[in-house]
A and B are shown apart, each in its own frame.
Chain A
Amino acid sequence: MPTGARAALVVALIYLFLVGVSSLEAGIKIMGADTQERLFSAVSNPIAGLCVGILGTVLVQSSSASTSVIVGLVASGALGVEQAVPMVMGANIGTTVTNTLVSLGHVRQSAEFKRAFAAATVHDFFNVLAVSILLPIELIFKPISGIAKWVSELLVGSGGTEWKSPVKKWVKEPVGWLKDMWDQFGASGNVKGALMVATGLVIVLVALALVTRNMKALVAARIERSLNAILGKAGGLVALVVGIVVTIAVQSSSITTSILIPLSAAGVLTLRNAYPVTLGANVGTTITALLAALAASSPDSLTVALAHTTFNIIGILSLYALPFFRDVPVIAATAMAEIAVRRRVLAVCYVVGLFIVAPLVGVAILR
């Protein structure tokens, strides 16, 4: 496909994505206060919210998609900022499942597997460590949501529960068509709301997947040049910025971090060079939720999207900028890779345990 046509397609898909987020919001609103109350109480415990964030992201294999859905839920009033912040933190952990799964593809070659698994789990360990430290601090002092709320008010003002997003106007019409479509099928009340939510979810997931695929095709040569630039030569800061830029371009941290795995497995990229790129990917991926917040009508949705960005930036400033903490994920990932290469079944247990069993148990006990 010619570059111009592909770029136009990406713009159209982003528009479709925004329609999906708006449809999600509209659907929840149609379902009424009862449904919103039930959703609200299901994640009232922050640890349960964190676990839902992990599970939801593992399910769709994209934190961009899951945080966009969270933004849509906040916009509809089904979730508050307090409930949503642990969920976006969970999305950060959940998104690392993709590159960990990619690393399992190298399981037959011990040396390759060791390097690949370490490069994948360094991202897991950083995100788990960041959540372990920052979630309790957030629950007590609320610095992340506080900063996000302050920035949000700077951007859209503090004028109550609604803000007039210009993007909202552009997507109003197609959302109206969706409502009319379900009306024509005779849907009403909760059924119509559920159908709007389902339609919105499908549109968000499909549009985002297509945006990612087409953006990757558009900027592949640029990604290649950037990665070549950091091979062995660049410092952590450059690698971090490359991670941010590449992830913003492809709208997916999983793409960025998964590209690193074969390079690490082959020994082209060292663990310490790959590590800051994954942190940059954490920040870069938050752009999608910010985009989604543009289609939402509540300032809270923007606050949650900004909280995701703030959490990742504070995580880097507190855990990567400080030399003591910086090495903890590297040491943990190296040790985990040593264990995994000796007992490969433990690598599978680790993936299933961290990304499925632990969050499921968390939700079951704490909801």
Chain B
Amino acid sequence: MVLSFFRAGDTGLDHVVTRSVAMVSDARHSFDLACTALLSGAQPKSIADDVRETDLRINANEQQLRGELAVHISVHGPNDIGEVIGLILLLKKIERVGDHAKNILDLAESGVSFTNEPDIDELLEERRTVSGFFAEASEILAEHDGIPEGFRDRLDQMIDQIQGRIDGYMTSDEPGHQVVPRAVYHRYLKRIVANLNSAVLAATEPVRVIDQAD
């Protein structure tokens, strides 16, 4: 550990970004696994340990990296304060995504399954799209080139689409045991997409730009 002083390596913030990309991959892994229980008929028991361990790992990383950001500010002073604020927010958002993946597993563990529902193909397509957002978010975080045009619009569209489904379930005449689990699942899905949206925004624009000419 003392040798870390003499070794070359990532500077503090680069290290945090690298680790946060790994956290997004972990969150995606949890999400995909939890969804297989809900949408593809996997036994919740067989994946529960993996999802929970991954969630614990994400939480532990968040705690550790927040500590490292405090060290960064203590050593370097307030020069990087904007980036540090953004990274703290980013870590929190990724941690929440992980929590919602675990919530989806909890739903499957309580006996909910959409495997034999008539709109399963639509639900699987929705899951694939959301899973793809994780990969794009990782790329954005790793490359530091800002948010590609259209990415946030697609996330917003997905949020609107999911909200439309939730609104539909809320006013549906179908029995509660059919629509409530769907509404809950879509609520988690919406929070995941919204947190990914906030995560990339936090990383690229940590504090709102104040322009006196606005």
What are the residues of chain A within 8 A of B4 when measuring CB–CB? 222, 225-226, 228-229
Instruction: Give the interface size bracket for B toward A.
Output: 10 to 19
Which A-B residue pairs are the 5 nearest by beta carbons?
A229-B1, A226-B5, A221-B11, A268-B67, A225-B4
What are the residues of chain B within 8 A of A262 when measuring CB–CB? 70, 73-74
B71 on the A face (CB < 8 A):
yes
Which A235-250 residues sit within 8 Å CB-CB of chain B?
A: 238, 241-242, 245-246, 249
Instruction: Give the interface size bracket for A toward B.
Output: 20 to 34
Q: Check B2–A238 contact: CB distance below 8 A.
A: yes
Q: Check A223–B5 contact: CB distance below 8 A.
A: yes
A-B contacts at CB below 8 angstroms, number: 69
Which A262-318 residues sit within 8 Å CB-CB of chain B?
A: 262-263, 266, 268
What are the residues of chain A within 8 A of B12 when measuring CB–CB? 221, 224-225, 228
Identity of the chain A residue whose Cβ is nearest the Cβ of B11 in the assembled complex: A221
Which A10-26 residues sit within 8 Å CB-CB of chain B?
A: none
With A221-B12, A224-B12, A224-B72 in contact, is A242–B2 under 8 Å at CB? yes
What are the residues of chain A within 8 A of B70 when measuring CB–CB? 262-263, 266, 268
Q: A224-B68, A226-B4 are in contact. List 15 more A-B contacts (CB 8 A).
A: A219-B5, A223-B75, A224-B12, A225-B5, A225-B12, A226-B2, A229-B1, A229-B2, A231-B68, A233-B1, A238-B1, A241-B2, A245-B5, A246-B5, A259-B74
A230 on the B face (CB < 8 A):
yes
Q: Check A245–B2 contact: CB distance below 8 A.
A: yes
Shortest distance between the CB of B78 and any CB in chain A (Å):
11
Q: Check A231–B2 contact: CB distance below 8 A.
A: no
Identity of the chain A residue whose Cβ is nearest the Cβ of B63 in the assembled complex: A232
Shortest distance between the CB of B3 and any CB in chain A (Å):
9
Identity of the chain B residue whose Cβ is nearest the Cβ of A223 in the assembled complex: B75
Q: Check A220–B75 contact: CB distance below 8 A.
A: yes
A234 on the B face (CB < 8 A):
yes
Complex-state Cα separation, A227 to B72, whole angstroms: 9
What are the residues of chain B within 8 A of A233 when measuring CB–CB? 1
Which B103-153 residues sit within 8 Å CB-CB of chain A?
A: none
Identity of the chain B residue whose Cβ is nearest the Cβ of A228 in the assembled complex: B68
Q: List 19 A-B contacts (CB under 8 A).
A: A220-B75, A222-B6, A223-B5, A223-B75, A224-B12, A224-B71, A224-B72, A226-B1, A228-B12, A228-B67, A229-B2, A229-B4, A238-B2, A242-B1, A242-B2, A259-B74, A262-B73, A268-B70, A268-B71
